[in-house]
C-alpha cells in the first residue's frame, strides 16, 4: 500500500514542479495577465484523478510555493488552493462523467473561485488589485483543461 502511494506521487510532484516553473516563466508584459494558473490546473487534475494520494496536501504546499515565488502574503495562494482543491475533490466523481464542455465550465467555476479568494485576501491585507484583467486567466485555464487531461493521460498510458 505504502509503495503503491509512492509510485503515484512521483508524477504528481514532477508535474507540480514543471507547473511552478511555468508560473514564473517570463512573459511579455502584455501577455502576463493572461497567463493561466498552470499549477492550479495540475492540482485540480490530481484532486480529481487520485484524491487519496494526498491532493489536498499537494494543494497546500503548491499554494505556499506560489506565495513564495510571487512574493505575496504567506498563505494566500495556500488558502485559495486548499479551498478549491477540496471542492474539486468533492466534485471529482461528477467531473469524471461530465462532457468536455461541462468539465470546462466546472473548472472555470473553480478557477474563478480561486481568483476570488485571492482577490479577497488581497483586499483584506490592504493590497487590492482591482484590474479587470485578473478575471481573464480562469477563461484561458478552463480552455486548457481538456488538453491538460489528455496530455496527462497520454504520458501515463505508456
Partner 1 sequence: MVAFRNTDTSGRTTGLLLRCVLYSLLALGLIIVDKRYDHLGRIRRLLSVAVYPVQVAVASPFDGWNWFRDSVTTRDALRAEKTKLEAQLRVAQFRLQRYEALEAEIQRLRALRDSTEGITDRFVIGDVMDVDLDAFRARVLVDKGAGDGVYVGQTVLDSGGVFGQVARVGELSSEVILISDAAHAIPVQVNRTGLRTIAVGTGDMSRLKLPYLPTSADVIAGDLLVTSGLGGGFPAGYPVGTVAEVKRDPAQSLADVDVKPAAALDRSKELMFVWLKPQTAEALPKPAAPKPSAPKQAATKQ
Q: Is 51 exposed, middle or buried (0-12, 13-18, 19+ CB in 10 A)?
A: middle
Which of 1, 6, 29, 158: binder of partner 1 (CB under 8 A)?
Answer: 29
Among 37, 17, 16, smallest CA distance to 142 is for 37
The reply on whether position 143 binds partner 1 by CB under 8 A is: no
The reply on whether position 24 binds partner 1 by CB under 8 A is: yes
Query: What are the angstrom distances between the C-alpha of 29 and each of 33, 34, 43, 97?
Result: 8, 10, 26, 38
Q: How far is the CB of 136 from partner 1 (least distance, A)?
A: 10
Contact track, partner 1, 97-126, x by CB under 8 A:
---x--x-----------------x--xx-
- Kindly identify the residues of this chain, within the stretch 70-99, that bind partner 1 according to CB under 8 A: 70-76, 78-79, 82-83, 86, 89-90, 93, 96
The reply on whether position 144 binds partner 1 by CB under 8 A is: no
The reply on whether position 32 binds partner 1 by CB under 8 A is: yes
Please give the residue ranges that form the binding site for partner 1 (CB under 8 A). Answer: 17, 20-21, 23-27, 29, 32-33, 35, 48-52, 56-57, 59-60, 63-65, 68-76, 78-79, 82-83, 86, 89-90, 93, 96, 100, 103, 121, 124-125, 127, 129, 131, 133-134, 145-146, 149-150, 153, 156-157
Amino acid at each position: 500500500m505504502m509503495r503503491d502511494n509512492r509510485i503515484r506521487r512521483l508524477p504528481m510532484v514532477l508535474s507540480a514542479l514543471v507547473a511552478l516553473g511555468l508560473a514564473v516563466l517570463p512573459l511579455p508584459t502584455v501577455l502576463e495577465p493572461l497567463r493561466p494558473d498552470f499549477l492550479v490546473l495540475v492540482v485540480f487534475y490530481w484532486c480529481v484523478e487520485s484524491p487519496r494520494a494526498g491532493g489536498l496536501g499537494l494543494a497546500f504546499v503548491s499554494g505556499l510555493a506560489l506565495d513564495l515565488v510571487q512574493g505575496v502574503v504567506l498563505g494566500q495562494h495556500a488558502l485559495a488552493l486548499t479551498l478549491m482543491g477540496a471542492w474539486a475533490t468533492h466534485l471529482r466523481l461528477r467531473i469524471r462523467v461530465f462532457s468536455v464542455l461541462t468539465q470546462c465550465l466546472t473548472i472555470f467555476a473553480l478557477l474563478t473561485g480561486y481568483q476570488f479568494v485571492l482577490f479577497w485576501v488581497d483586499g483584506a491585507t490592504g493590497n487590492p488589485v482591482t484590474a479587470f484583467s485578473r478575471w481573464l486567466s480562469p477563461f484561458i485555464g478552463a480552455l486548457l483543461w481538456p488538453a491538460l487531461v489528455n496530455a496527462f493521460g497520454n504520458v501515463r498510458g505508456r
